[in-house]
Amino acid sequence: MSSEGTSGHDADHTDSAASDGFLQRYGRRPAGVWSAPGRVNLIGEHTDYNDGFVFPFGLDRRTAVALGDRHDQVVRVSSGFSPDEVSIHLDEITPDSVAGWSAYPLGVVWALAQFGADLAHVRGVDLHIASEVPVGAGLSSSAALESAVALALNEHWGLGLDRPTLAKVGQLAENRVVGAPTGILDQSASLLAQADAGVFLDCRSLDSDVIPLHFAEEGLTVLVVDTHVAHAHATGGYAARRASCEQGARALGVESLRDVHLDDLPRAEGVLDDETFRRVRHIVTENQRVLDTVRTLRERGAHAIGALLDASHASMRDDFEISVPELDLAVATAQAGGAVGARMTGGGFGGSAIALVDVALVPAITEAVLAAFAAAGHRTPTVFTVTPSQGARRDG
């Protein structure tokens, strides 16, 4: 049975895996350990690169990086999830000189330099990475890795960059080094998250507000259904959706779809072809749903946001067309089982769905999802609960 049913992943465990791995690889103790969480986006999908609003929270599953100083200018990276160890001189790190998983940490080193870090005057480091964020689940394991490394190097090298800038560093690494045309959502969530809270982020101004969620207090939890349907944002649908949004903004004569409002939609429908119009309608209505979710949470509490989560999923399924049958089934089954609300989360085309559920319903909804997947002949999903947790930090 792949249901875990509980959360409470022990952050200390990831930290010790990073420190112990460091000791084993490099034969000495690290000078420090930093960690950063994966994320769930509660609502606000594909709005980030349209200068819109998002509302994610940090996961209780983290990626930790143990760091040790060196006396030369070499950066060496290793991890618990790959036998590969990569050593490269600071001068030689470029978007083209790194590949594989090490592109994430080394991409961050390169991106820090693009934001003003003077790498000619720092000493190299040894890094060892350990992670409990599932890879390929749409829970931003890559942003967790980038954010942990960015914060570690920022503090170790005394660069003085603030967290919103470190989020841009991670995004640049992802865009230029890894090659995925993604927005600022994932890294912002990983760096700005707080326990029991969501990060309400304006992706245009990068102003953010931490909004208490009070899920546990209200007897609620978030169930994640990892469908194990693979997605890759460096190729395919994600970039196509981004291009449609840009095309829609151009045709409507605005800088970005952030500048289109609900009452502009009738005019937009007259100007755009049907497909582009539906892409635009998703972004415009999704931005409004983020604002409504934050307001509803503040005024009426988490039980009242369900319809907004459900509407967000319908919009992604029907207008933005980024869902897949497995995600739709997870959402429909959770809704039928009494979830407050449910939606796919992240970039789409696979990955995970989330359901906001009464704690007492977790076992029944988990069983129902597993049974529905089996009946449909889908691969067995992994179902687990998550707790909104603190963003990137130094742990030791």
Please identify every residue annotated as catalytic: 186
Min CB(308)–ligand GLA separation in Å: 15
User: Which residues from 331-350 bind ligand GLA, rule CB under 6 A?
Assistant: 346-347
Min CB(246)–ligand GLA separation in Å: 13
Min CB(48)–ligand GLA separation in Å: 5
Min CB(55)–ligand GLA separation in Å: 11
Among 46, 76, 163, 228, binds ligand GLA (CB under 6 A): 46
Among 9, 17, 22, 48, binds ligand GLA (CB under 6 A): 48
- Contact between 350 and 296 under an 8 Å Cβ cutoff? The reply is no
Min CB(333)–ligand GLA separation in Å: 23
CA 285 to chain centre: 21
> Does residue number 14 form part of the binding site for ligand GLA (CB under 6 A)?
no
> Does residue number 188 form part of the binding site for ligand GLA (CB under 6 A)?
no
Q: Among the candidate windows 41-49, 111-119, 156-164, 374-382, which touches ligand GLA by CB under 6 A?
A: 41-49
Angle at the Cα of 343 from the Cα atoms of 183 and 203, rounded to 5 degrees: 25
* Position closest to ligand GLA via CB: 347
Min CB(165)–ligand GLA separation in Å: 17
Is the Cβ of residue 45 or residue 326 nearer to ligand GLA in the bound state?
45
Strands 74-79 and 125-131: parallel
> Does residue number 51 form part of the binding site for ligand GLA (CB under 6 A)?
no
**Measured distance CA(124)–CA(131) in Å, rounded:** 23
Among 22, 38, 45, 283, binds ligand GLA (CB under 6 A): 45
Q: For the beta carbon of residue 7, count every other beta carbon within 10 angstroms.
A: 17
> Does residue number 182 form part of the binding site for ligand GLA (CB under 6 A)?
yes
Structure-derived torsion over alpha carbons of residues 86, 91, 97, 99, reported in degrees to the nearest 10: 40
Query: How many residues bind ligand GLA, per CB under 6 A?
Result: 12
Is the Cβ of residue 68 or residue 347 nearer to ligand GLA in the bound state?
347
User: Which residues from 199-258 bind ligand GLA, rule CB under 6 A?
Assistant: 233
Structure-derived torsion over alpha carbons of residues 189, 195, 200, 204, reported in degrees to the nearest 10: -30
Is the Cβ of residue 90 or residue 173 nearer to ligand GLA in the bound state?
173
Q: Among the candidate windows 22-30, 38-46, 72-80, 254-262, which touches ligand GLA by CB under 6 A?
A: 38-46
Is the Cβ of residue 186 or residue 310 nearer to ligand GLA in the bound state?
186
Among 185, 223, 272, 311, binds ligand GLA (CB under 6 A): 185
**Measured distance CA(278)–CA(287) in Å, rounded:** 14
Give the interface with ligand GLA as residue ranges (CB under 6 A): 41, 45-46, 48-49, 182-183, 185-186, 233, 346-347
